[in-house]
Amino acid sequence: MKFLAIALAHDNERFIRGYPPKGANLLMTPNIEISRLANLFAQCDQLIYLDQRVDSINLDLQFDIGLIHADFGQEKRAMEIVLKLSDKGKRTILFGPLPTFWQNDLPDWVDSVIIGSITNAYPEIRDDLSQGLLKKHYSGGTKPVYVPQNRSVGEKNIFFYNRYQHLQAVMGCSCLPQLKPYCPQGLYYSDNLLKRDLIEVIGEVLSLPYKEISLLDEDVARFPEYYQEFFTEVWNYKKHWKVQASRSLFDYPNLIRLMAKAGTKLIFLTEDWLPTMNPEIFTLNGKKFRSQQRQVKILHSEKMLVGARLSLIYFESSQFDFNHAFRIIDRLDLDFLEIKTYRPAKLQGDESSCDIEPIQKNYYPMLPQTDPAWIKNRFYALGHITRRICKRPLTLGFYNTLFYLIPYSFAYRQNYLEGIAFPP
């Protein structure tokens, strides 16, 4: 069977024929869900992978079924593609965070959708397709099931950075309660968790050919004993790790030291480390953030780069000066910063509706200081990047500065200047 898998992109990220793709190559990787799904296909199956960030979407290709991955803010483009393929007599299955968020409240134009993880629902879909059937609605359930990525997906596309590998040892959401409705793992698995057997995880580590590995687990401080055993095992394999952690990480100094010895180069601190959903928190005295300053210094002393993820609620009527927020963030001495922006949702009497919804806030000329993107505008300004590059060799060493701080700083700067809202 021949599958056409399309990964949609936001308006500012879409590939335009005759121009290079937007965004830094270092941060460009194939869609994780599609690359995992490819591992479930039979040998006789064929996958055509198109990514709107790097490909022109050709709907005249010959295929049996279309698979469309849709995230928040991509409903309009998903509708256009589904309707065009429907006119050509092609069936489509919509999957990803957006259709899962819809649950059973589906728009009329949808052909078939998956609520939950496509890898969980695929066995049922495959059985139906073999009988010439396709249901309107498929459920992946809420039990996490791990499927490794198929590295052949997007491997021949020169615009993807294929040397960066992904690994996941623990599946499940650990976001702030306000953000759970928009977290893919929270949407797919609710509060359920999967802790993989460490022997299985170590076996996957050994199978990965390159040095750099991004650990997709949302919080390495959630199960400190598990991760202490994990990093003890991988110590000898000389891998370089990028991990995520909550503020609870600083309750386990031995884990921090072990991660550094095992080759962790970059730690991203999650939203609960600096819980700034309301920008007004930055009007507090800067002394309130001294504990965060000390924690960044602790990680720097172990020669690890430090990033932080912030989530901000943007009120269009607000005149809040985000330059003040930047001055406080600048004192924290972070290396990287990623910001997601939300706005108050328009509730329509539905008690289950969320009170915020994600939006895209991009760079544009003459950006005002009342726009939350102003923080990234200052943080990734050339002068501030240069200052960090000059300071870091004393604490991080020349290797980490040269091979991690410099390339990632300019990759984030490129993404920001080319109008990509996240990352950074």
- 223 contacts 245 by C-beta, under 8 angstroms: no
Quick check: 303 pLDDT over 90?
Answer: yes
Residue intervals in the chain for CATH 3.80.30: 165-417
In 3D space, the residue among 4, 3, 181 whose CA is nearest the CA of residue 98 turns out to be 181
Over residues 228-256, the mean pLDDT reads 96
CATH architecture of 2-139: 3-Layer(aba) Sandwich (3.40)
- 213's tokens: 């590995």
Q: Report d(CA 78, CA 91) in Å as an integer.
A: 13
- 100's tokens: 């899962």
In 3D space, the residue among 223, 312, 227, 294 whose CA is nearest the CA of residue 264 turns out to be 227
Residue intervals in the chain for CATH 3.40.50: 2-139
Beta-bridged to residue 240, according to DSSP, are 212
What is the identity of the amino acid at 300? H
Over residues 186-197, the pLDDT tens digits come to 999 999 999 999
Over residues 135-184, the pLDDT tens digits come to 999 999 999 999 999 989 988 888 999 888 999 999 999 998 888 989 99
Asked if CATH classification 3.80.30 holds for the domain at 165-417, the reply, yes or no, is yes
Q: Report d(CA 367, CA 377) in Å as an integer.
A: 8
- 7's tokens: 């990964």
Indicate the pLDDT class of residue 354, thresholds 50, 70 and 90. low
Task: Look at residue 114 in the predicted model and tell me its pLDDT.
Answer: 96
